[in-house]
Structure formats: structure tokens, C-alpha cells
Amino acid sequence: MPRELRDVVFVDGVRTPFGKAGGMYTETRADDLVIKCIRELLRRNASLPADRVDDVAIAATTQTGDQGLTIGRTAALLAGLPRTVPGFAIDRMCAGAMTAVTTTASGIAFGAYDVAIAGGVEHMGHHPMGEGVDPNPRILSEKLVDPSALVMGQTAENLHDRFPNVTRERADAYAAASQRKLAKAYADNVIQPDLVPVATRSAEEGWGLATFDEPPRPDTTVEALAGLRTPFRPHGRVTAGNSAGLNDGATACLLAAEDVAKELGLAPKMRLVAYSFVGVEPEVMGVGPIPATEKVLGKAGLTMDDIGAIEINEAFAVQVLAFCDHFGLRDDDPRINPYGGAIALGHPLASSGVRLMLQLAREFEDRPEVRYGLTTLCVGIGMGGSVIWENPHWEGAK
């Protein structure tokens, strides 16, 4: 029987302040971070009856300990949603939250759901990248991938090899600019409205309250970055300054069918247009946003000229710059990460996809002349993901 697909909207989203691994969330549970986000979404959208939430999808890359036990379900219960609301866990590494969004959005479009919550959490202080992983030895012995594919910093060095025009000097300049843009966004109160305050505990220092991101270094200069060592290769180009750090944090967003959002009095911030995920060579996973974006532009019948705002995850500066070169964009194109990115904010793996969406939604509100925007990121083990969104505030629709 033929079905009509429904339009899906991004109603609202929030995140915790991001912390440094081993920093302010050292004695805070990962699941408590995402629970705070779910509760805040319900508080901010009081016209939504809790029993209208049809599912909760939460991503985590390391699904064990305080990130295990089907975290979407346990977080939903602990956040106070009715026991009738189900939940599940997702893992697509850095694209976990993005996949949580696209998976539940697909269910809404199909008619299986009316409303869903999607997000992600990563506590890299509790669960270092690769913890407990046991790669099948045939992956390496049968040369399915190069050993460097399992170390993200080495894949970034490989990307520099592939694109020699992306020099360390360009990467450092881009990184310093990311810090400056984030500092300005904080000064302009762009970031703060979407942050959920989190109570923190320290056995030595007592209780505290996290209200700001911990990783940013607003005084970063290109000169200081030039002096940093290259841990993944002697005389390399990837440093702690031109890549994202190891971080703790959570994100969550509220998605709904557009007609249901209207029924419930929920004002959409974005409308989903199209999405795509692709595989690439694991040894150069940072190229992932390029074919993922080419694919999603084709699905949407658009070109890069139609995209007025781009939120790309800054896992490494080289991957952003390779994306820019491919699409003929300047390193300082004003469409790209105008409020700063992961080099300044941090990258708590599975949570980052929704963080990109939060910032794009803020750009849509601030820039009604922009109709379409893009969120995109590279993904470990050789993948990329891209989502195109439409601005409901677009002045051309009036």
C-alpha cells in the first residue's frame, strides 16, 4: 500500500557544557549528562505531553559502564519519561548523534513515530577512545585496512600526505580562527542559550556548577600553535592545537512531524531536507564529509552554491581544509562554522552531530536570508555523514 512521507522538523536542542577528559566531569556519570539534556528539552517545550514522545535514541561510542545498558531506554526512564516510552542505543562513532537523528527522523517520515528525542553522549574521561575494543586480527592480517586506520591522529597525518596543499601553517591558522570565532560567539551570547547547567562533584573540592565549556583557549595564537609537538609522527603536521581534544559531554534534540509540531504548539527551528552516509578508505577517514556532501546535494537536487551555512565537525583542521579545497571554498569562508567548532569546543565523539545542529539552528535564526544549511562530519573507520536542513525563518518564504 502506498504511503505518503511526512516532513520532519528539528524543534529544539540542548547540550551540556563540554568538559575536558579528566576535567570537570571526572566524578559525574555519563548517563547523568544526557539525562540532564532530556529533562531540559521537556522543560523548554512544556506544551509537549511526555507521553507523546514515541522513542528515545541515544548514541555512545563506548557502550559499557555508565554509557551501557541500552542507554536510550535507561536515560528515558531516569529523565522521568513515562515507562511506556521506549529507547535504544546507537553507535556510529563520531556520527552517533547524527545517526540517532536521521534514524528517528526516518521513522517520523514513515509514520512510525510522531515525536522522538535523539542525541548522544561521550565521557572520554571514563571511557578512553578504543577502551575494551578487540579488533578482529584479520582486519590487519588480510590488509583490509592499514594499521594507521585505527589511530585517528595518524589518519589525519595520512590526509596531509594526500593533500600536500593543506600545510601545517594553514591548519594552525584555521585552528586559531576557530578559537577566535568561539570567543566572539560567547561574547555575543550565541552559545549560552543552548547550554544545560550541570552540577559537578569533586571529592576534594565539593560541588560545583558547569555553565561554560571547559576546552576553549581564546588567547590561542598561530605563533603558539607553531611550537606544539606532533605526537603522531616526527616532524608531522597534526598537533593538539589544530585538532579536537578528548572531551566529555552530551546533546539531545526534539524531532517531530511538522503537522504534529503545529498541533502541539511547537515552533520548528529547522526542517530536514536530505541526509547521506558514505564509506571511504579508513586510512583517510577525514575525507568522509566530501563524498557524503556530494551525495546529499545530489539527493536534494542542490549545489554547494545553494548552501548558505555549513557546520562541519573540526575533528582535525586538515579535514575541514580538504573539504574547502574540494568545494572551492576559502579557508575563511564566512559560511563555515561562524561560531567556532570542535577545535575550540571539543569533540565528545557520539554527541557532536547534534552540537552541529544546535549551532546551525542558531545561524538560521540569526540569518533569515539563508535557506539551506549543512551539518557534516567525518567518522572513524572510514565514513562520512551529511545532513541538509531548510531554514523555517527563510525570508523568501514570506
Closest CA to 297 of 386, 176, 381: 386
∠ CA(116), CA(120), CA(125), 5° rounding?
A: 160
Phi first, then psi, for residue 273 (nearest 5°) are -105, -55
CB 363 within 8 A of CB 205: no
Q: Which residues have C-beta within 8 Å of that of residue 335, sequence separation ≥ 6?
A: 307, 308, 309, 310, 329
Closest CA to 347 of 294, 290, 282, 286: 286
Closest CA to 381 of 243, 304, 279: 279
**Lowest mean pLDDT segment, chosen from 16-25, 48-57, 69-78, 196-205:** 196-205
CB 290 within 8 A of CB 390: no
Tell me if residue 235 is catalytic.
no
Tell me if residue 123 is catalytic.
no
The C-alpha cell of 289 is what? 564529509
Arithmetic mean of pLDDT, 110-117: 97
pLDDT at position 354 is 98
**CATH tag for 138-189+273-389 (out of 3.40.47.10, 3.40.50.1820, 3.40.91.10, 2.20.25.90):** 3.40.47.10
| 263 confidence band (pLDDT: 50, 70, 90) | very high
Arithmetic mean of pLDDT, 103-108: 98
Arithmetic mean of pLDDT, 326-344: 98
**Active-site entry in 37, 253, 324, 378:** 378
Res. 389: pLDDT tops 90? yes
Res. 1: pLDDT tops 70? no
**Active-site entry in 127, 160, 347, 393:** 347
Cα–Cα dist 45/253, whole Å: 11
Q: Which residues have C-beta within 8 Å of that of residue 181, sequence separation ≥ 6?
A: 337, 338, 339, 340, 341, 344
Cα–Cα dist 247/315, whole Å: 12
**Active-site entry in 37, 94, 253, 324:** 94
pLDDT at position 110 is 96
Closest CA to 54 of 134, 123, 100, 108: 108
- Cα torsion angle, 98, 99, 104, 105, sign: positive
Mean pLDDT of all residues belonging to the chain: 96
Burial (Cβ within 10 Å: 0-12, 13-18, ≥19) of residue 242: buried
Tell me if residue 378 is catalytic.
yes
Write down the domain spans for the chain.
138-189+273-389
Arithmetic mean of pLDDT, 382-393: 98
Arithmetic mean of pLDDT, 47-61: 98
Res. 167: pLDDT tops 80? yes
The 3-class secondary structure across 321-376, one letter per residue, is HHHHHHHCCCCCCCCECCCCCHHHHCCCHHHHHHHHHHHHHHHHHHCCCCCEEEEE
pLDDT at position 398 is 64
Q: 198-244: per-residue pLDDT in tens? A: 999 888 888 999 999 999 999 999 999 999 999 999 999 999 999 99
Q: What count of residues does the chain have?
A: 398
